[in-house]
Amino acid sequence: MRFLLEQAEALFAYTRQLRRDIHRHPELGFQEHRTAGIVARELQNLGLEVTTGVGRTGVVGILEGKYEGPTALLRFDMDALPIQEETGAEYASAQPGVMHACGHDGHTAIGLTVARILSQQRERLHGRVKFVFQPAEEGLGGAQAMLEDGVLENPHPDFSLALHLWNEKPVGWVAVVPGPFMAGSDIVEITLRGKGGHGALPHQTRDPIVAAAQLVLALQTIISRNISPLEVAVLSVTQIHGGEAHNVIPESVHLRGTLRTFTQPIRDLVLSRVTRITEELARAMECEGEVKVTDLTPPVINDEAMAKWVAQIARDVIPEVNVDTTYRTMVSEDMALMMAQVPGCYFMIGSANPERGLVYGHHHPRFDFDERALIYGVALMSAVTLARLEAQ
């Protein structure tokens, strides 16, 4: 399988050119028309059966092998973020206020290169590969939209694979973790209603801003006092909106935040405490409190046997990499929705390079990655897919 690393290196110029072109022309979730066009064109040129408009702007390409066998689903996300780029790179975004600040441009380029490599291996494939290029991963429901459009049908996949370039770690690091890997995500929205009035006459009001200030602090005790130190959860209040004038106490205040958990019991406990603390504290402050929860995505849970197998392939194909089998992150991923129905493995490829200043985290306006990571992503995704389908 090491020949796949050589092929990934030989195709690096192609992968990099695709990545930089997509980076220059970023598109937000469900607006990836140009990117989807590139994907469809490249897959059609390889002779794949291509379907567009899956999940609004998603693309699916099916590569048929020579022999009968299982179906592999390989998923790559395409969307950018509403961020003004500050990298100064020669391939920087030409779209004001939009940039690829998470590496999805790299994922798309990796996916197309993998398709190019595996299309040359048709004679060795027992089964088929379903390439899924997903829109709107960044919290807009792209995976759910593709599921509703039947992405797991005709044919239904037997296993799934996905990857993410990861700037929290340097090039040469790969994370392949059995079991829970990425956290589930919920949006928590809280409304506090009081009685507005003149800012100079607070005794005539029931101030929801003071209640909100108390509530933000009280919510922090859930993690520190209700969750065992041996368990993991994150609850962050990220937005507070209330009031329009400096001398008016408003009628209501709205808070918004995110909850990240790995298990259903911990999620249930945190949400129960959020609701009770909100209602009781609001009552104590002579206000009313209401909590609304939106379930975005469950945790990413890797099939244990498959993750161990992928880790071994990574060591065999790319001997110089450091394979980490214990890393976990509270970042979420809607690939979890597909993996809940199709067992799979989601892995990460280190992409930072401190010597070149490529150290900014995901969703930062100066985010960029060492493009050598593309080679490792292509080689490992190709090797795992070929090994699984060749062995049938």
Q: Which residue has the tokens 């019991």?
A: 265
- What does pLDDT average to over the chain? 97
Percent of the chain with pLDDT over 70: 99
Architecture per CATH, domain 2-181+299-390, reads as 3-Layer(aba) Sandwich (3.40)
* Residue 363 marked as a ligand binder: yes
164 is in an annotated binding site: yes
Domain segments of the chain: what residues? 2-181+299-390, 184-297
Across the range 66-73, mean pLDDT stands at 97
- pLDDT score at 1: 77
Q: Is residue 68 a known part of a binding site?
A: no
Contact predicate 49/106, CB 8 Å: no
**Is position 290 annotated as part of the catalytic site?**
no
Q: Looking at residues 29-48, what average pLDDT do you find? A: 98
pLDDT (0 to 100) of residue 79: 98
Determine which one of 27, 32, 77, 79 is catalytic.
79
**Cα–Cα distance for residue pair 29/106, rounded to 1 Å:** 16
Report pLDDT for 349: 98
- The answer, yes or no, to whether residue 271 has pLDDT greater than 80, is yes
pLDDT digits 0-9 by tens, 349-369:
999 999 999 999 999 999 999
Q: Which two tokens stand for residue 392?
A: 């049938």
0.85 exceeded by pTM:
yes
138 labeled part of a ligand binding site: yes
Q: Is the pLDDT assigned to residue 346 strictly greater than 80?
A: yes
CB-based contacts of 276: which residues, under 8 Å, 6+ apart? none
Mean of pLDDT values over 56-82: 97
Residue 392's pLDDT is: 55
> Tell me, what's the pLDDT at 391?
65
Question: Taking the CB of residue 299, how many other CB atoms lie within 10 A of it?
Answer: 23
Average of per-residue pLDDT across 314-337: 96
Q: What is the DSSP letter of 270?
A: H
* 254 marked ligand binding residue: no
How do residues 290-324 score in pLDDT, each as one tens digit? 999 999 999 999 999 999 999 999 999 999 999 99
Tell me which of 77, 105, 137, 334 is the catalytic residue: 137
Q: What is the average per-residue pLDDT within 74-91?
A: 98
In CATH, the architecture of 184-297 is: 2-Layer Sandwich (3.30)
**Secondary structure (DSSP) of 298-360:** --EEE-HHHHHHHHHHHHHH-TTSEEESS--BS---THHHHHTTS-EEEEEEEEEBGGGTB-P
Catalytic annotation present for 137: yes
Q: What is the pLDDT of residues 95-105, one digit of tens each?
A: 999 999 999 99
